[in-house]
Amino acid sequence: MNFKRFLEGLGASAAPLSMSNLYILSGMTKREMEAFRGAWPRLPVERRRTILRALVQITEASFEADFNSIFRFCLKDEDEEARAQAVEGLWEDESVSIMRSLIGLLQGDSSFLVRARAAAGLGRFVLLAELDELDGELGMEVGEALLRTINNPQEALEVRRRAVEAISFSGEEGVREIIEAAYQDQTQKMRVSAVFAMGRSVDLYWGETLLQELKNPDPEMRHEAARACGELELKEAVPTLARLINDADREIQGAAIWALGRIGGQGARRVLRACCESDDEIVAEAAEEALSELEFAEGIFEIPIYGEEEE
C-alpha cells in the first residue's frame, strides 16, 4: 500500500479504522515518520484518540509491533487524552530518555490524567532501580519526583495515588510509612491504592492487614487485597481466598483464583483442582490457567534427560 495514500486514508474519520492496516505504522523509516509528523496534526482529535487506542491494543497483543516513534511523538500532542494514550503505549520502553520525559510530564503537564499516567509509568523505573538494573542516581531522580508528587497537597488525588503505587516497588527506607499514610487516608481511592501498594512492595509486614481487607464490604478493596495476597504469596490467606471464589463479583473471583495460583502449596492446589471441575465455565477456565502456571512455577513437569526416552 502506498504510504502517502495510507496517511490520507487515516484522516477519513467517517471510515472504520482497520486494525490490520495500522501495522503499516510499525517500525517506520525516517522518511515515513516525517510524513506521519506532517499528517498527524491535521487529523481530527477524536480520530487521533481512536488511532492511538488501537495502537496501544496492538502493542499489548503483539511484541513484534513497534509504534514507539509514534508514541514518543504524541507525548507532545495538544490533546490530553492523546498524550495519556502515548504514555500508555510506552509501557515497555525502559530508556532513560522516556524516564525523563515521564518525570517532565509528571511535574509539568496541565492535565491530571497525563500526570497520573506518567506517575504510574515511572513505577517500572523504580523497579529497575530496585533490581540494580538502573543507575542509582537515576533511581533517586525517579524516587524524588514521585515523593514530591505524594507530598504535594495541591496535586490531584488520582496523581498522588498513582505515585504511591509506583514508589511501592522500592525497598528504600520510608516507603512503608508512605503506604501506611495512604492506608490511613480519608479517601477510599487512596486506601485502595495503599492495599495495591502493599502487594507490590512484597513486604510481609502487611500480611495481617491484607487478611482483614479480604473481608472488607467494599468489592474494590477485596479485589486488591486478593491480588496483594497473591503477590506476597501469603499462605494464611488460602482459606479466605477459597471462599472468595464464590463472591458475586467476577473480578474478585478471578483475583482469588489468580492469587491461589501464585501462593501454591497443597491447600491452594486442592482448591484449584476442585474449581477445575466447576460447572461455572469462567471459574473452571481461570482455575485451569492458574493451576497450569502453578505447576510450571513449581517445576512439576518432568523434563526427560537426553537419551532417557530411548533407555
Write down the pLDDT at residue 310: 41
From 147, 90, 81, select the one nearest 114 (Cα to Cα).
81
Cell of 227: 491480588
User: pLDDT tens track of the chain, all 311 residues?
Assistant: 578 888 888 877 666 778 888 999 999 999 999 999 999 999 999 999 999 999 999 999 988 899 999 999 999 999 999 999 999 999 999 999 999 999 999 999 999 999 999 999 999 999 999 999 999 999 999 999 999 999 999 999 999 999 999 999 999 999 999 999 999 999 999 999 999 999 999 999 999 999 999 999 999 999 999 999 999 999 999 999 999 999 999 999 999 999 999 999 999 999 999 999 999 999 999 999 999 988 887 775 444 544 444 43
Among 72, 127, 74, 79, which Cα is nearest to 100's? 72
Cβ 79 vs Cβ 109: under 8 Å: no
Contacts of 147 (CB under 8 A, 6+ apart): 167
Q: Which of 243, 240, 245, 239 is nearest to 258 (CA)?
A: 245
Q: Can you give the pLDDT at residue 275?
A: 96
The pLDDT value recorded for residue 1 is 59
- Residue 294 is predicted with a pLDDT of 87
CB distance 39 to 10 below 8 Å = yes
Handedness of CA 257, 245, 182, 205 (dihedral sign): negative
Which pLDDT value is given to residue 13? 64
CATH 1.10.40.50 describes domain 204-311 = no
Q: Which residues fall within 8 angstroms of residue 64, CB to CB, at 6 or more apart? A: 26
- Contact yes or no for 203/183 (Cβ under 8 A): no
What burial class does residue 237 get, using C-beta atoms within 10 Å of its C-beta: 0-12 exposed, 13-18 middle, 19+ buried? buried
Strands (E), 176-292: none
All cell numbers assigned to 248: 458475586
| Residue 203 CA to its chain's centroid (Å) | 19
Other Cβ atoms within 10 Å of 109 Cβ, number: 20
Using alpha carbons, list the distances in angstroms from residue 180 to 32, 168, 172, 192, 276: 50, 11, 14, 12, 38
pLDDT at position 14 is: 66
Q: Which of 227, 242, 308, 228 is nearest to 273 (CA)?
A: 242
Angle of helix 123-130 versus helix 136-150 axis, rounded to 10? 140
